[in-house]
Amino acid sequence: MNPDDKRLAMMVEDHPYSYKDFEGTIPAGNYGAGNVIVWDNGTYTPDEPTQNPEKALLADLKKGHLSFILKGKKLKGEFSLIKLKGKQENAWLLIKKQDPYATESDILNKNKSVITDRTLEELEKKSKKMDQNSSEKKASKKSNSSAETPAVFIKPMLANTKEKAFDDTNWVFENKYDGYRTIAVINPTDVQLFSRNELSFNTNFKPIADELQKIDHIAVLDGEIVVEDENGKANFQLLQNYLKTGFGTLKYYVFDLLNLDGNLITDLSLLERKELLKILFNKYDFTNVFYSEHTIEKGLKQFDLSIKNKGEGIIAKKADSTYIPNKRSSDWLKIKISNEEEAIIIGITQPKNSRKYFGAILLGQYYGKRLQFIGKCGTGFTDATLKELYTKLKPHFVNESPLSEKVVLRDQIQWVKPKLVCQVKFSEWTNDKHLRHPVYLGLRIDKKANEVFVPSNNKSNVELEVKPDKILKEEKMKEEPTPATENDYDLKIGKTTLHLTNQNKIYFPEDGITKGEIVQYYNEVADLILPYLKDRPQSMNRFPNGINAPGFYQKDVAVDKVPDWLKTKKIFSESNEEYLNYLICNDKATLLYMANLGCIEMNPWNSTIKHIENPDWLVIDIDPDKDDFQEVVKTALTVKEVLDELETDCYCKTSGATGLHVYIPLGAQYDYDSIKIFGELLATDIHSRLPKTTSLERSIKKRNHKIYIDYLQNRRGQTLASPYSVRPKHGATVSTPLEWSEVNSKLHPSQFTIKNVLKRFEKKGDLWQPVLGKGANIKKILHKLENRNPN
């Protein structure tokens, strides 16, 4: 507690949360062996108020300098931790700051536990008794904790496809198993096995569930259940028939741990999770449950070994990757040896000769929302499987083809609703994008049809769907004066059914990006973008014929011509000099409705209908007249410099076009007129520091090709593209929130498009969240400005 004392502090490995209450003797040979008391306890906060204390502290930890306030029973007031450079990796310096709690008295004289009031010496005398009491206490605590926070099902993380194996020191490589992906949820009184879609596997694979009863921890495991033949090779058909025949050896290969003792550990790195998994499994003697081993760096060797063992292939995983539930990520890659695909059964052909039930099955896969025919399969069936499959398909017979394209086959076809998924092996993809020599392996009860997509590494399939589709569209337009409706479909969102139209219409001709892809992007990003649209009037910027055709703004919504579930608000428009019915976007259904109208970008007001005259933020729009983005970056950093001097937080995002937007949170505390004046003061200060490259002139001619510092966006009714909004620009760029460390010479708005930003958003979360926080104190800022510039 003496600011003159500087203590060495060592960073140690993370401890279980329950350790905070532990007192007792840790036996020799274990980590932290010795007598332990709880010397102090309490809470801590950053030294300055923030919307997200944890995030702020983690950022400071990364920088190597934390300042915080301790609120303990003994330790109180402000402290700093500073990482020591040149020392060992985990060495820090702990410093007490000068404040009312600072004292020269030795705090270590207060040597008793804050829980039991015992000293270490007293504990040592009664260590055996204390150890027994502690064990009972921990057992009781674990029992109570288990009741309060049981493990639950977690949708598994999925892998993208890659054609070739590789070596990389930052990656680990595991075997790829030919079975059913299985999540095991283990609680003290219950073990549940689930498919990736949360179907119960307990009955199907009871021996596995019984085996996992040995685990006396709360846990969630991720792995693959397989059935191996007499040669130890996983066989999918054996797995299919296991319930009937019992043939083969049932095994569960576990490659990930998602929850341990009630603690979600998906944010740990892959290697950390696997280390915990191995430690856990070492405690038990399993017969049919196995830890899935891995190699580091040597992907080519692992792949060759899989070929030698006639395996399925390998899975490559980034060693430091976190676990992202229910997402397909490029941090995990599947590299197959054999050509196998999941396919949707969309029809059957009439049987010929002596065959019963059907001749072949017709197969399909999805590309986006469009179902694509990939061939027919007539081999791999026995009399029993023909009958069994026909029985399962019959309830789903339909009269019309589920395909948008015409399939030319000589056979008589019975179409089937796309519900059932099967596994097939094949020799190769043909030039006309069909499977060559497919062989039926069995149904996949663990997969839904809407999860079966054209493989991302099958380049020919992508070309079929993007480039030729544009040509087909143009040919169809020549034949028909009105747009075709075959690419329309209904999407149910909650209780609302949304009719989406012309999803294959090309919106970005140079990139082949369709309207459907824009709708799908907003579907994926809805949770991120909606907080910045909620309760805000929308000025809809519509491009119904794509970005190369003229667009138009629509503010007024004809209430009698839109669905009654849409929310509108009558607001006076100063530019129109009348009251208009503005659309209010508060949910995903409205967001996708707007995207379906051709709103490629989303343009909300700066204020909400709750405080229509008071904006939630001030924006400095850095708008270049020419493509010199380095100067744009320099200007943004100058904005940051000015606001740092004023001790005011600000946040930067790409405009998605040619500029950058810097926002200052305001929390709807001030009206538009006040904010516009404040914005002008800031812009003037910024311009004074960059007079040769920036301008405050609104007239383009008068700017003389300089960067326009636009503070007039802070007027009532003005709009800018929201964060996470697509822009009607080449490449389908996205207005993307940035960390200030990213605002550097390497930055350009073209880096962020609908093709790559989702992965970024998964990793970084919502960087823009503080913009909706409490907001800056304008009075204090103006006071600082006056003191700095007395004239």
Dig out the tokens for 83 from the structure: 């990482």
Structural domain that includes position 518: 478-602
Q: Could you tell me the CATH number of the domain that includes residue 224?
A: 3.30.470.30
Nearest to 620 by CA among 655, 645, 578, 572: 655
pLDDT for res 233: 84
One domain for residues 133 and 16: yes
The answer to whether residue 690 is domain-embedded is: yes
Structural domains in the chain (count)? 5
The set of residues, in sequence order, having a beta carbon less than 8 Å from that of 274 and lying 6+ positions away, is 172, 255, 256, 257, 294
pLDDT for res 467: 29
Q: What contacts 24+ positions apart, CB below 8 Å, involve 677-683?
A: 678/618, 678/778, 678/781, 678/782, 679/618, 679/619, 679/620, 679/711, 679/712, 679/714, 680/711, 681/782, 681/785, 682/618, 682/620, 682/639, 682/642, 682/643, 682/711, 683/620, 683/709, 683/710, 683/711
Q: Is the pLDDT at 481 greater than 60, yes or no? A: no
The answer to whether residue 420 is domain-embedded is: yes
Average pLDDT, the chain: 86
Tell me which residue has tokens 């009630």: 262
* Whether the Cβ atoms of residue 579 and residue 571 lie closer than 8 Å to each other: yes
**Amino acid occupying residue 43:** T
Nearest to 562 by CA among 496, 518, 615, 655: 496
One domain for residues 694 and 665: yes
Q: What is the mean pLDDT of residues 769-776?
A: 91
What pLDDT digit, counting tens, does each position of 118-167 carry? 888 877 776 655 445 445 544 544 444 444 478 899 999 999 888 789 99
pLDDT for res 662: 97
The answer to whether the Cα torsion of 396, 400, 404, 408 is positive or negative is: positive
What pLDDT digit, counting tens, does each position of 5-16 carry? 888 888 887 776
Rounded Cα gap, residues 651 and 662, in angstroms = 5
Three-state SS annotation for 279-328: HHHCCCCCCCEEECCEEEECHHHHHHHHHHCCCCEEEEEECCCCCCCCCE
One domain for residues 563 and 508: yes
The answer to whether residue 607 is domain-embedded is: no
Q: What contacts 24+ positions apart, CB below 8 Å, involve 126-129?
A: 127/24, 127/25, 127/35, 128/25
Q: What is the DSSP letter of 345?
A: E
pLDDT for res 586: 95
The set of residues, in sequence order, having a beta carbon less than 8 Å from that of 456 and lying 6+ positions away, is 160, 161, 462
One domain for residues 217 and 115: no
One domain for residues 649 and 543: no
Dig out the tokens for 360 from the structure: 């072949």
One domain for residues 507 and 554: yes
One domain for residues 212 and 294: yes
One domain for residues 329 and 183: yes
Dig out the tokens for 687 from the structure: 């311009």
One domain for residues 345 and 275: no
Dig out the tokens for 700 from the structure: 């383009």
Size of the chain in residues = 791
Q: What is the mean pLDDT of residues 752-778?
A: 91
Q: Is the pLDDT at 778 greater than 70, yes or no? A: yes
Three-state SS annotation for 455-504: CCCCHHHHHHHCHHHHHHHHHHHHHCCCCCCCCCEEEEECCEEEEECCCC
Predicted confidence band of residue 431 (pLDDT cuts 50, 70, 90): low
The answer to whether residue 537 is domain-embedded is: yes
Please say which residue of 432, 463, 494 terminates a domain. 463
Tell how far CA 106 is from the center of its chain.
49
* Whether the Cβ atoms of residue 160 and residue 330 lie closer than 8 Å to each other: yes
* Whether the Cβ atoms of residue 591 and residue 585 lie closer than 8 Å to each other: yes
Rounded Cα gap, residues 343 and 324, in angstroms = 25
What pLDDT digit, counting tens, does each position of 560-570 carry? 788 889 999 99
Q: What is the DSSP letter of 261?
A: T
Q: Could you tell me the CATH number of the domain that includes residue 583?
A: 3.90.920.10
The answer to whether residue 611 is domain-embedded is: no
Dig out the tokens for 382 from the structure: 């026995």
Dig out the tokens for 80 from the structure: 């700093």
Coil, strand or helix: which one is 226? strand
Rounded Cα gap, residues 637 and 261, in angstroms = 46
Please say which residue of 428, 463, 498 terminates a domain. 463
Rounded Cα gap, residues 274 and 283, in angstroms = 15
| Backbone Cα Rg of the chain | 31
Cα 289–Cα 293–Cα 298 angle in degrees, nearest 5: 160
Dig out the tokens for 271 from the structure: 């290697």
Dig out the tokens for 698 from the structure: 């609104």
* Whether the Cβ atoms of residue 68 and residue 79 lie closer than 8 Å to each other: yes
The answer to whether residue 169 is domain-embedded is: yes
* Whether the Cβ atoms of residue 393 and residue 432 lie closer than 8 Å to each other: no
Q: What is the DSSP letter of 410?
A: S
Dig out the tokens for 751 from the structure: 């880096």
The answer to whether residue 468 is domain-embedded is: no
Predicted confidence band of residue 536 (pLDDT cuts 50, 70, 90): very high
Q: What percent of the chain has pLDDT over 90?
A: 52
pLDDT for res 704: 86
Please say which residue of 405, 433, 463 terminates a domain. 463
One domain for residues 488 and 458: no
Rounded Cα gap, residues 13 and 20, in angstroms = 14
The answer to whether residue 685 is domain-embedded is: yes
One domain for residues 417 and 496: no
pLDDT for res 464: 29
* Whether the Cβ atoms of residue 501 and residue 491 lie closer than 8 Å to each other: no
What pLDDT digit, counting tens, does each position of 381-405 carry? 988 899 999 999 999 999 999 998 8
One domain for residues 776 and 655: yes
